[in-house]
Amino acid sequence: MLATTVIQNGAKKEHTMLVLHGVFGRGRNWSSVAKQVVARRPDWALHLVDLRLHGDSLAMTPPHTIRAAASDLVALTEAQELTIDGVLGHSLGGKVALALADAWQDRPLQVWLIDSTPEVRAPAGDAWDMLGRVRSLAPAFASREEAIGALEASGCSRGVAGWMATNLEARDGKLVWRLDFDAIESLLRDFYAADLWHVLESPSSRHDIQIVKAEESETLSAPAVERLTAATQASDHVHLHHVPGGHWLNTDNPSALVDLLSALL
């Protein structure tokens, strides 16, 4: 079962949203944004999910695919008897959100894609580069600072290195990675290979889809942005927002995300 953290404000909750992080992350990466949203929208509860192979959801069986990750969410909601009104996904989590929306075509659902893409592309970019970096490093470290220094030396910024180092755990007097990078590679390869354009270009009449493009990120290619713009013109159910900031908008420009979510949920 997937691990979750629930953020809600008192007993006024009427709606429930799943929040899905990106690769190498975990649900609590979105805690600050979630707390600000529910402070302004106490009618919503946000469930911050640790996706398969991440956080406290490590013991998951193959295949490690986007659709398997969406099936995990279905199992979670059924086990907890949750009625889901919305799903928000960042990066990798965005494609999982699209796969869930595809499975729930007949349900009313808000879908939020935060700097994610429905397109097929060759494996590349920051997440793919990070996979190569961690594999090039020693398998264990004497301290968190040693790990951060090694990541910085491999090309990471200090901030990204510190964030990635949250995936270390103590074992036999050393710090080692908690993550199964071979399994994550399988999940990433499927992320790049999965084509989910139809969810946006032929949207369910019961869905409302909000796409947030980080202006300083290249996660969404120029042709993809053109295609998304056409999708918004073809359907009242698809909306595109351009927000200043880099790929990690939850840390780069959280106030813009909080404003959008608070206004449109």
**What pLDDT is recorded for position 125?**
84
Residues composing the chain: 265
77-95 per-residue burial string, b: 16 or more CB within 10 A, e: under 16: beeeeeebbbbbbbbbbbb
- Give the per-residue pLDDT at 174: 97
Specify the CATH number for 4-120+194-264; select among 2.40.50.140, 3.50.50.60, 3.30.565.10, 3.40.50.1820: 3.40.50.1820
pLDDT in tens, the chain (265 residues): 999 999 998 777 899 999 999 999 999 999 999 999 999 999 999 999 999 999 999 999 999 999 999 999 999 999 999 999 999 999 999 999 999 999 999 999 999 999 999 999 999 888 899 999 999 999 999 999 999 999 999 998 888 899 999 999 999 999 999 999 999 999 999 999 999 999 999 999 999 999 999 999 989 999 999 999 999 999 999 999 999 998 889 988 999 999 999 999 9
* pLDDT for the residue numbered 11: 72
What are the beta bridge partners of residue 125? none
Q: What is residue 240's predicted lDDT score, i.e. its pLDDT?
A: 98
**Domain extents in the chain:** 4-120+194-264, 126-182
Query: For position 107, what pLDDT does the model report?
Result: 97
Q: What is the pLDDT of residue 46?
A: 98
> Token match 């990635």: residue?
164
Q: What is the distance between the alpha carbons of residues 229 and 91, in angstroms, rounded to a whole number?
A: 19
